[in-house]
């Protein structure tokens, strides 16, 4: 890396810009809409249509998070988003824990995205190449899906932004069709039995919500990448809200359509549920629509991997500039990108993906990584909510501030949802007791690795900046 890196970034270099409002919004949309929604019906099939209630409640939580991050980004439009909020509110030790946890979310999330993405790659290829359905080829395809976006990110912000914008536009096409035309193909009989989990309705809803959370990871990405957004004080909050609302609309409507078109038993056996739903809409045994959708999902997943690869490096970059992460993460290549962060994060995602495929495959791999990232994402989400609660209470004591009740309700909702996501992140569909608790084991092990890094960096950490004043 020594031949491609320069000195750690200076304060002037931190404000790099490059992403206008459309690109920043596409970063939100592209990060939220990856392959999670396209694999979600199969992952939720064991719960049945009651999952639609879980998705609706998860959407409330996601919108609360979006509003909270929009408010926090106006107050503190700093690199790192959730990491910066936790650090300024609670100090360097908490800031490091949140930065480390979110970094795990980013690279482990890429591992989860690529394991869901490869299911659609295999769906397209198996018709012509049956051997492509094996775990060995799945791992090879996953490695390609991780490292090609890394190369795009290494080539510069402009190329990354262009790929993100166009893949975000293309991925909306199948979701928009399913959210509109698909509603006319619903059979109400497919919504019965409503709860197929064998648990009580509240237990089923909470369990399904932990699965649904993964589909909304990314509401904070514009805040994390604030240094790359033009006029972040204005564009980060707008991109956060616009991107989340657009994603939520197509999520809810398309999921209702898929559950109404295919019975839960069929969804449980499907490796490409949206493709199968489109085939059912066309009828007559036709498969062309399913293949077309699979290609769109592959493009969608590639866009998500492209956006999250950037986020994988942006959080460590922000932390390294503050002395919390090793200085190598703060060095920019000749293309102006944090190359070490991109390469190391992609390598870790590759390892996590490979480990998850050992002795398992398909949805079990996808769900294990999905739950792991839910746990590590919920930690910085929760601390961001606590930071907002702390600051707004101090604001209100000092001077009567507008929107106090709204901001507090949003922050408390975000905190409650974050805690619930952690509690219900067990892989109950696991093939053994180990796989049930594997998300917690993997998340815990990844967090423990951060302890020696913290001990090494703690004398190099700069003091957090003062809390910015409230701005209505």
Could you report the per-residue pLDDT of 104-140, keeping only the tens digit for each?
A: 988 988 888 888 888 888 888 887 887 777 888 889 9
Structure tokens at 247: 């994603």
Helix H, strand E, coil C: the string for 82-148 is HHHHHHHHHCHHHHHHHHHHHHHHHHHHHHHHHHHHHHHHHHHHCCCCHHHHCHHHHHHHHHHHHHH
So what's the pLDDT on residue 273? Answer: 86
Residue 9: DSSP 8-state: P
**pLDDT at 7 exceeding the cut of 50:** no
Across residues 226-251, what is the average pLDDT? 79
User: For residues 219 and 64, what is the distance between their CA atoms, to the nearest angstrom?
Assistant: 10
Residues 6+ apart with CB under 8 A from 203: 197
Confidence of residue 435 (pLDDT cuts 50, 70, 90): low
Report for 94-98, 188-192, 264-268, 292-296: range of highest mean pLDDT: 94-98
Classified as helix, coil or strand, 400 is coil
Across residues 158-183, what is the average pLDDT? 80
**pLDDT at 15 exceeding the cut of 50:** no
Could you report the per-residue pLDDT of 341-392, keeping only the tens digit for each?
A: 999 999 999 988 887 777 555 556 667 777 888 889 899 999 999 999 999 9
Could you report the per-residue pLDDT of 245-294, keeping only the tens digit for each?
A: 888 888 888 889 999 998 888 887 887 888 889 999 988 777 888 888 88
Whether omega before 336 lies within 30 degrees of 0, making that bond cis, reads no
User: Comparing C-alpha atoms, which of 225, 201, 148, 167 is closest to residue 33?
Assistant: 167
Residues 6+ apart with CB under 8 A from 366: 39, 43, 112, 115, 116, 119
User: For residues 387 and 351, what is the distance between their CA atoms, to the nearest angstrom?
Assistant: 33
Share of the chain above pLDDT 90, in %: 20
So what's the pLDDT on residue 11? Answer: 37
CB 73 within 8 A of CB 446: no
Classified as helix, coil or strand, 229 is strand
Helix (H) or strand (E) holding 221: helix 221-224
Helix (H) or strand (E) holding 372: helix 363-398
User: For residues 37 and 212, what is the distance between their CA atoms, to the nearest angstrom?
Assistant: 8
Map out the domains of the chain with their CATH numbers: 14-460 (1.20.1740.10)
So what's the pLDDT on residue 340? Answer: 94
So what's the pLDDT on residue 366? Answer: 67
User: For residues 59 and 215, what is the distance between their CA atoms, to the nearest angstrom?
Assistant: 10
Q: Long-range CB contacts (< 8 A, 24+ apart) of 253-257?
A: 253/178, 253/179, 253/180, 253/183, 254/37, 254/175, 254/178, 254/179, 254/182, 255/37, 255/40, 255/41, 255/51, 255/52, 255/55, 256/52, 256/183, 256/186, 257/178, 257/179, 257/182, 257/183, 257/185, 257/186
So what's the pLDDT on residue 360? Answer: 58
| pTM, two decimal places | 0.80
DSSP string computed for 416-448:
HHHHHHHHT---TT-SSHHHHHHHHHHHHHHHH
So what's the pLDDT on residue 94? Answer: 94
């Amino acid at each position: 890396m020594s031949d491609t890196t320069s000195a750690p970034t200076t304060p002037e270099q931190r404000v790099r810009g490059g992403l206008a409002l459309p690109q920043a919004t596409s970063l939100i949309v592209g990060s939220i809409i990856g392959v999670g929604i396209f694999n979600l019906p199969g992952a939720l099939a064991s719960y049945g249509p009651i999952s639609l209630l879980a998705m609706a409640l998860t959407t409330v939580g996601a919108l609360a998070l979006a509003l909270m991050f929009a408010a926090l980004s106006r107050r503190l439009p700093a690199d790192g988003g959730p990491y910066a909020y936790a650090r300024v509110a609670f100090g360097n030790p908490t800031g490091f824990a949140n930065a480390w946890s979110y970094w795990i979310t980013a690279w482990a999330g890429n591992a989860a995205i690529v394991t869901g993405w490869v299911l659609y790659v295999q769906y397209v290829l198996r018709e012509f190449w049956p051997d492509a359905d094996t775990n060995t080829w799945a791992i090879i395809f996953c490695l390609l899906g991780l490292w090609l976006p890394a190369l795009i990110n290494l080539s510069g912000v402009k190329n990354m932004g262009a790929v993100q914008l166009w893949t975000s536009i293309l991925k909306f096409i199948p979701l928009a069709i399913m959210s509109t035309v698909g509603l006319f193909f619903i059979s109400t009989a497919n919504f019965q039995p409503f709860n197929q989990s064998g648990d009580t309705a509240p237990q089923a809803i909470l369990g399904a919500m932990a699965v649904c959370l993964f589909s909304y990871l990314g509401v904070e990405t514009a805040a994390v990448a604030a240094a790359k957004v033009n006029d972040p004080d204005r564009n980060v909050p707008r991109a956060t809200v616009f991107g989340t609302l657009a994603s939520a609309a197509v999520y809810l409507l398309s999921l209702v359509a898929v559950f109404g078109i295919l019975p839960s038993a069929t969804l449980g056996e499907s490796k490409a549920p949206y493709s199968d739903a489109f085939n059912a809409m066309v009828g007559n045994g036709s498969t062309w629509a399913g293949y077309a959708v699979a290609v769109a999902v592959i493009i969608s997943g590639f866009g998500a991997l492209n956006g999250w690869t950037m986020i994988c490096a942006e959080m460590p970059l922000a932390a390294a500039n503050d002395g919390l992460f090793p200085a190598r993460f703060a060095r920019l290549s000749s293309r102006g990108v944090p190359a070490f962060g991109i390469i190391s994060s992609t390598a870790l995602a590759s390892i996590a993906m490979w480990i998850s495929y050992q002795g398992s495959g398909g949805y079990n791999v996808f769900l294990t990584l999905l739950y792991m990232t839910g746990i590590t994402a919920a930690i910085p989400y929760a601390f961001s909510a606590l930071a907002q609660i702390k600051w707004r209470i101090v604001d209100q004591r000092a001077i009567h501030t507008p929107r106090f009740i709204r901001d507090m309700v949003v922050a408390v909702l975000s905190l409650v949802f974050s805690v619930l996501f952690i509690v219900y992140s067990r892989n109950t569909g696991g093939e053994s007791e180990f796989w049930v608790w594997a998300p917690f084991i993997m998340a815990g092990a990844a967090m423990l690795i951060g302890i020696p890094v913290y001990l090494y960096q703690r004398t190099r950490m700069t003091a957090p900046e003062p809390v910015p004043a409230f701005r209505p």
